[in-house]
Amino acid sequence: MDKELKKIKVAHINNPPALGVDKKLLLEAQAAYDEGLNFDFYIIKSSFDDRDVKNVHYRKDYKLWYEGTKLRFIGRFFNWKNRLPDIVDFDMYDMIILRFGKVSFSKYDLFKRYGHKILTEHHTDEVGEIRSKKTLKRYLLGTVVSLISKRSLKLVAGIIAVTNEIRKVELNKAGNKPSVVITNGIGVEQTPFSGFKQFNETNLDLVFVSSHFQAWQGVDRLFEGIKQYKGSVTITLYLIGNYGNDLKLLADEINSEGKHRIVLTGRIEGEKIAEYYETANLAVGSLAQHRRNMKEACTLKIREYMARGIPFIYAYDDPDVPENASFAVKFNNDDSPINVDRIIDFARAVSSSPDMAVSLRNIAKKNLDWRVKVRQMYDFAAKVYRQQNNEQPE
């Protein structure tokens, strides 16, 4: 790394906090520390006391009057002053990466003050996701969010997106400025290797993991495919994650017929989840991203499947999964039933490849590990900084 890159000091801030995102940030921080990057990470929460662990800074947020009340969503949205600069010393850093998240008027306040050194990180089409439910309330909220986003993003230094589709959406709001696609990663060394069970031509075991099963996971498409399947193979589908009553009713309908089995485990973490991975023939990724107006996605679970060495099915364009990949089968991104015969053929094919699991983990290590991703983030931040200051690396 050249001298110009070494002097750039970058911060990555996660606010508001979220369990899954906080875990991701900690893995990024460890990777950046291991790589020797001048890169700090902040996790901010009202229940924290201020403390520093290597390059991770835990900071206490202070509660406003509306927190914990029924007015909290309105209060957060219409709060004008952003308090992040009171918690993090923005002047310490040359560039700051900030997960864009939910839009509020306070974001505009923050970007107006510090936008010249902020790179926003985008994981979804925020407006498209709001309008995924076709109601007047959602449409109006989407309109307001779109207007605020456009005003805010015009002030930032650059855009980081996990897919090219999202990058184009955000640039349409932000105007012409530096942008880059940096896909989600995974801590490969921190992810246990599972491999997958060989298909025995009699029983097909599938595992589908999500923190919470939403409409865009498309579980109903797989349910419908199982119901339409007429072959002799018995299907068992393990759904690991929080679920709603509507999903339980659909699962009960299939279970009542006695041929196939849907197992709703609820949320499972830690070592216990390994039992389900190790006994699965295949894993299942998101099957209905079109329901939140997305053709491309970059889900963390797919990256976990790859690091664990488990082939999978999915139904969207993923920048890290080639169209002809031997370790995955892509279905159409629509509402049609999933073809179970095609899944069975895929299970049969991967079971005939003895090196598949190890090969898949090696692909993850080379392309998806957080060491690769944080280096890309840091280098992009340094590039934008140099362009702003008319500096050239040696």
162 pLDDT above the threshold of 90: yes
With a cut of 80, say whether residue 21 has pLDDT above it: no
Task: Check if the beta carbon of residue 74 is closer than 8 Å to that of residue 120.
Answer: no
For residues 68 and 65, what is the distance between their CA atoms, to the nearest angstrom? 8
Can you give the C-alpha Rg of the chain in angstroms?
22
Within its chain, how far is the Cα of 21 from the centroid? 8
Lowest mean pLDDT among 13-27, 158-172, 227-241, 255-269: 13-27
- d(C-alpha 85, C-alpha 166), whole Å: 27
- Average pLDDT on 132-144 reads 76
Q: Which residue intervals of the chain bear CATH 3.40.50.2000?
A: 3-185+369-388, 203-367
Question: 129 with 168: CB under 8 angstroms?
Answer: no
pLDDT at 389: 87
Is pLDDT of 135 > 90?
no
Residue (of 59, 15, 55, 7) closest to 31 by Cα position? 55
CA contacts within 13 A on the Cβ side of 316: 25
Q: Which of 296, 291, 295 is nearest to 163 (CA)?
A: 296
**pLDDT value at position 390?**
82
pLDDT at residue 69 greater than cutoff 90: no
CATH class of 3-185+369-388: alpha beta
| Cα angle for residues 174, 180, 186 (degrees, 5° grid) | 125
Domain 203-367 annotated CATH 3.30.70.2740: no
Q: What is the pLDDT of residue 19?
A: 59
Q: How confident is the model at residue 302 (pLDDT cuts 50, 70, 90)?
A: very high
pLDDT score of 3? 44
Poorest-pLDDT segment among 76-85, 100-109, 149-158, 234-243: 76-85
From first CA to last CA, the distance across the chain in angstroms is: 10
Convert 130-186 into a string of H (helix), E (strand) and C (coil): HCCCCCHHHHHHHHHHHHHHHHHHCCCCEEEECCHHHHHHHHHHHCCCCEEECCCCE
Mean of pLDDT over the chain: 88
